[in-house]
Structures are given as structure tokens and as C-alpha cells.
Amino acid sequence: MPDLEKAILAAVAHSSYQPLKPKALARKLRVPPDLYAIFKTTLRNLIKAGRLELGRNQSIRPASSVHGAITGVFRKTSGGFGFVRPHLAEGGKADEIYIPQEAVGDAATGDVVQVRLGRRPKRRDLGPRGEIIRVVERATRQFVGTYFERDGDGYVRVDGTVFSHSVYVGDPGAKGVRPDHKVVFEMVRFPSPEDRGEGVITEILGSGGEPGVDTLSIIRAFGLPDRFREDALEEARTTAGQFSEKDLSGREDFTGWTTITIDPVDAHDFDDAVSLTQDPKSGHWLLGVHIADVSHFAPPGSALDREARQRATSVYLPQRVLPMLPEILSNSLASLQEGKVRYVKSALMDLTPAGVKTEVRFANAAIRVKRRFSYEQVTELLQDTPSPLNAKIEPEIMEMLWRMRELALIMHKRRLKRGALELNMPEVELEYDPQGRVAGAHFRERQISHQMIEEFMLAANEAVADHLDRRGIEFLRRVHPAPEPTKLKAFAEFARILGYKVQRETDRFTLQRILHQSADKPEAHAVHYALLRSLKQAVYHPEKEDHYALASENYCHFTSPIRRYPDLVVHRLLDQLLRRGKAGSDHDEMAALGDHCSKMERRAEMAERELIKLKLLTYMSERLGIELEVIITGVADYGFYGQAETLPVEGLVHISTLPDDYYHFDAASHSLIGQRTKRRYRLGDKVTVTVVRVDLQRRQLDFRVKHKEPPRRKGTEKTV
């Protein structure tokens, strides 16, 4: 539609235009709802034609000067080539663009780049082919690596696989740096196939093996903030000085209620507390979920709010936490500590004996936690055989714990009935010696106590989202879009190969059954991880959309405002309703904030995973030659990956190291098959391997098959 094209281009080209997301731009142009599909198509065509482009947060902006170029985010592989995921208008789809090594230029992973398309490569699985013609926006200019010297010059070998060659950093000894020091450097000229690049050292972190250097390296590599500005700290101190446990003005007094917290044994802050009673006549439950009222201490526009908004989340690294709020709040005033009067936002839910919510109300309140429990303690208390700990717990609290267990199981059954998916991706827990060094690791066991708290928090999150949605208030939802049918089809094919019956590929109850049936089998990790990769990422934004995995129509994050900024934003809207009876928000601001919070959340998760991996690899580097039983979790044309059964580590068995035969990759069965012996290494098989190599710099662990007999599957003599 030429008129619509002209209107879009004129609006975006106007000098006062501020980049907007597609739906916001449609509202600005007063596009009727029945023409929105045409508007999206027009927008998509303008982007493909190079007349418009998308920013990092999916906002529409004028196209750069290069006509016909496609803008997207670049991802570089260890082989030197890479892929660009194009920016497209809302709902648009496009293949990733393959970038051969000679066409990468000086682009690095995460950079926003412009690509000129070329001829499609012979390998159809690589998609369209292109050449990077310009880096629009750098993901970062700060990198971490190990310093060394050669031929009178200083170089840094960058951590990870971002760059295949070391980077020149000038004269030896600059800033007092010595070989094997971990350093932070600013990239002055990015590496390219013709040039190793150049940087300047900005910080020396210490020798690679020194305590704490690995943690500091990850903090700097991901750009995590590890210090608060002085005005925020001063504001926190002032707030602390003004707080009084006796001041309950404007709050309901729940300090006499039996209220408890259940958290990890090493928890640093306590966001949530729970109370539960049951009417002996009707059988109705009254569930109280009481959440730390952080909004009382960090009002919008304050220095504390600025810091929290910028960080968006606390980062939980092994042996160190980078909190979203200063410790005087996160570990003290706002934290729901045992025996202390604390301010809360309470969600009070009336449920039938079958677990159906009949009435919900919210309150600004104050509580006093009667008991702080760890997950392990509650699990011990709820065993059929009493433990010594039982004698130390008040009878009314023991009764409440058993009621909580009963209600949680009822609520869990209802969630499964509506189609919620339960992915079992256990967390890694590191074990330390008295000196704080990693002495081992294990997967954290999921216990009944975890399930209890999870059910109650999910119920509170849904209750708040329903409450705001019914009043037409836009808020930061926690959205999990439905997966692409093609992704579910691929997962279904994968499950069939492993012997699972799949009739309806996109049916969530079929997925539920596969997850349940695989839970106790050797291939459980591979199956659950494969489905996870088939799903889209959950994000924050104000558009109404379901949470696919939870099978929830309205969902938000409300229960962790000490460590998540989106929860704090939801608290403020709820507070407006409680105090004034109405609330409002700006859609565009909320959308931009959601993009920022989603990005910061992913950064925090990546940093945590990377540091855990680094610490585990350091531990394994001192144990070369040990034998491990591993389950094959991934198979490729270059080898297979194995997940150890007794340690949460995964390594590669390269195809060149497989014994006594030449192996070829069979993609259909996810197998490597010996040409002569027909020996097969297949997804889900159990294999004995030896640890042969650890590369801390590139974060890689290599295994070698120990025994020559065929791999084994639990309870069977042959692969299925």
C-alpha cells in the first residue's frame, strides 16, 4: 500500500521521531486494528528493502546509508566463519545468513552488522550467504584474557573462542603487567582475517591461579557492575536510619500470623514468606504469600531506583553475589528475616479444597517471620519417619508444613492438568574445601520443599497478573511465546528416534508425557535439553501473551523484588491500586524497560554458567586421566558430547579418537557408526571415558573412549 509506506517513512524520517516498536508506531499512525496485519507486512518489506532497519530492542529507525543491506546480530564460530540473525519487524521470519571467514571483516560476536547478500552456498543447511559490509554497533569493546610476551611485544590471548588469535597490546610491561597475568583491555582495532587487532590494557586482575581472579575475570568480561555509586549508598543509609519496626502506619498488621520462609541454606536475601490456614468446616484454604516491599525503600526516580533499574537483576555467582540493591536493604531492611518486623506486599488467596482460587485480595502489610527454614530442613521434617529436628519445631508450624505439602500437591496436579511443562534441568552446586577451592560438584536435588514454594509463588504471580489485567493496566508481563511448529516437529522426530511414541507433535500433553517418561532414563538430560532448545526464550514485555511452558494466560514476576527489577515495577503498580484505586503506565517506556531487563537477565545467567564452567574445568585440570561414566547428550559430524553421571561436567569425544574404525555421522539416528565394525555411539548411550585434556582459555574439556566394547544402555543389551 503506497500510502501506508509513505506514512511510515514520513513518520520515521521526521526530525522529532524517537525509535518505536512496531505496535507503538502503528498507534502513532492511527492504524486501525483490522489493517495491522497489512501494516506489519509493509513494515517488513521496507526493512527487507533496506529503507528501514531495527535497533537492538526491535525499535524501528531510519535505514543507514547502504542501500539493500540487511541489518542483524552477528555470531562468530570457533572456525572463523559466522552467522547473522536479521532484525525483522514483529512476527517476521528469515533464515540466518551464513558469513564465510573471508567475509567476516572485523566483526565480533554480538555486534550489530550490515550484510550484503551474495549467492547461496552449495551446502543448503547454511542458508543464504552474505558479506559483512559495516559494523553498526559493537556489543562491547572490553575483553579479558591472559597476557604474554613474544619477540619484544605484548599480547593478550582472549578468554573463550571469540577470537582465534591473540591481540597486540603494545610494549612489554605496560602498567606493570607480567606474563600469565589476567588483564582487562580495551579493543582499539578489532581483529580481522588480515590483522590480529590492537588493544590497550586497562586493568590487571592478577595471576590466573590466584583466588578470586577467575570470578573477577567473568565480572569484567560480562561488564557486570560490582560497585554502587556513593549517592545510592548514602540514600540506603538514610533510609535505614528512618526505618522503625514500630511504624505500621498504612499497613495491615499480620505480625501475629504464623509465617515462615523456606530458602536455600546459603540464601543471601529473603524475598518471600508464606502463611497457610484451612477452614475446618468448608475445607477452604487461605494462602498468604508475603513479598518484601522493596518499593517502600526505593521510590521511582531515586538514586536507589536508578541503580536497580540499570542492573535489573542480582547476579548470583559462585561464592559471590552482585546484588541489585545495596546490602543494607537486600540483606537487612527489606529482607524477611526471622523474628524481625518487615514490610510486605501480601497476596491473600482463598482456594477451594480442590485448589481453585475463589477470591484474592492484596494488602500493604507487616509480618514477623516465626521460622526460617532451608529446603533441606523442610524435606527432612516431612519424612514419614520423624527426625530429631521435629522435636525442635512448634506443633502449629509442623501442622502448617504438612498442610502446605498437601495444598502444593493439589495445585501441582491442577497445573499439569492444564498442560504445564516441567523441564528437569537441575542446577549445579559446587562443593568447596576449607580454603574455598572447588572440591567437587553435584546436581542440586529437587525436593518436595522446592515444589511447595514454587507452587505458591506461581499462584501469587498469576493472581497479581490477573488482577492488573482485569483492570486494563499495562504491566511488565513474563511472557513465554509458543514455539515454532517446525521446532516441535524436529523435537518429535528426535524423540521418536529414542523410542518415544509421538502422534501429535504440537500437543503439549504429548510433550508432557515424553518429559515424564524420560525423567528416570539415561537420556533424560538430552531429552529435556532438546525440548528446552525447541522453545523460545521467556522475556519481559507489556503485550498480552501467554506463558507457554506454564500454560498460563496471565503471568508476571511479583515474588522477588529484592533481586529482580520487573517485580519492583509490578509492586509499584499494585501499590498505586491499593492506595489510590487506580494505576497507569506508559506502554513504550514499559516495552523498552522489558527489553532492557530481558537482556540483563540473560547476561546474568550467562555469567553464572560461564564461571561455574570455568571453576569445574579448573577442578578437572587437576584430574587428568580419571575415568568417568558419561551419557551421550549430543552427536555431530566431528564427534559426540558426554555428560558425566557423577559430576556435572560435559566434554567432547572427537571422532578422530574413536578406536579401531572410521566413523560416519548418521543425522537421522543421531549416531556415529563404525564403517567396518558397525559399532554405534548414539544419543542416550552410556560410555566409559577418560579425561585427556582441559583448555581453560577456550573453556573446553576433551574425553577419550576408554573401552572398546559397544556403549551400553540401562536395562538393555542393545541400542534402541
- The model's pLDDT over 506-533, given as tens digits with 9 standing for 90+, comes to 889 999 999 999 888 877 888 888 899 8
CA distance to 141, 147, 510, 567, per residue, from 187 (Å): 5, 14, 50, 36
Q: CATH number for the domain including 216?
A: 2.40.50.700
pLDDT digits (tens, 9 = 90+) for 380-408: 999 988 888 888 999 999 999 999 999 99
Query: What is the percentage of the chain residues whose pLDDT exceeds 70?
Result: 93
Note the pLDDT of residue 612. Answer: 94
Note the pLDDT of residue 79. Answer: 77
pLDDT digits (tens, 9 = 90+) for 297-308: 999 999 999 999
pLDDT digits (tens, 9 = 90+) for 682-691: 888 889 999 9
Single-letter code of the amino acid located at 179: P
Q: Domain check: are 627 and 647 in the same one?
A: yes
Q: Domain check: are 577 and 673 in the same one?
A: no
More confident call, 464 vs 686: 464
pLDDT digits (tens, 9 = 90+) for 582-601: 998 888 888 889 989 999 99
Which of 191, 221, 251 lies at the terminal end of a domain, its last residue? 221
Average pLDDT over residues 82-92: 69
Q: Is the pLDDT of residue 345 over 90?
A: yes
Q: CATH number for the domain including 44?
A: 1.10.10
CA nearest to 478, candidates 495, 460, 492 = 460
Q: Domain check: are 634 and 572 in the same one?
A: no
Q: Domain check: are 2 and 91 in the same one?
A: yes
- What are the cell numbers at 440? 567437587
Q: Domain check: are 606 and 697 in the same one?
A: no
Note the pLDDT of residue 642. Answer: 92
Bridge partners for 365 per DSSP: 252, 344
Mean pLDDT of the chain: 89
Average pLDDT over residues 272-282: 96
* Residue 707 banded pLDDT, cuts 50, 70, 90: low
Note the pLDDT of residue 587. Answer: 85
Q: Is the pLDDT of residue 556 over 80?
A: yes
Q: Domain check: are 598 and 492 in the same one?
A: yes
Which of 560, 590, 611 lies at the terminal end of a domain, its last residue? 611
Q: Domain check: are 640 and 593 in the same one?
A: no
Note the pLDDT of residue 121. Answer: 56
Report H helices in 558-678: 565-580, 587-621
User: How many independent structural domains does the chain possess?
Assistant: 4
Is residue 414 helix, strand or coil? helix
CA nearest to 506, candidates 524, 527, 473, 484 = 484
Interatomic CA distance for residues 246 and 252, integer angstroms: 13
Taking phi over 0 as left and psi of -120 to 50 as alpha, with beta for the rest, 246 belongs to alpha
Q: Domain check: are 576 and 699 in the same one?
A: no
More confident call, 480 vs 12: 480
Which of 166, 197, 221 lies at the terminal end of a domain, its last residue? 221
Note the pLDDT of residue 91. Answer: 47
In a domain, 61, yes or no: yes
- Domain span at residue 643? 623-705
Query: What is the percentage of the chain residues whose pLDDT exceeds 90?
Result: 61
More confident call, 642 vs 28: 642
Q: Domain check: are 115 and 149 in the same one?
A: no
Is residue 403 helix, strand or coil? helix
pLDDT digits (tens, 9 = 90+) for 39-68: 888 888 888 766 787 776 678 887 664 556
Q: Which range among 105-109, 191-195, 291-295, 356-360 shows the weakest confidence by mean pLDDT?
A: 191-195
Q: Domain check: are 90 and 178 in the same one?
A: no
Q: Is the pLDDT of residue 73 over 80?
A: yes
Q: Domain check: are 475 and 545 in the same one?
A: yes
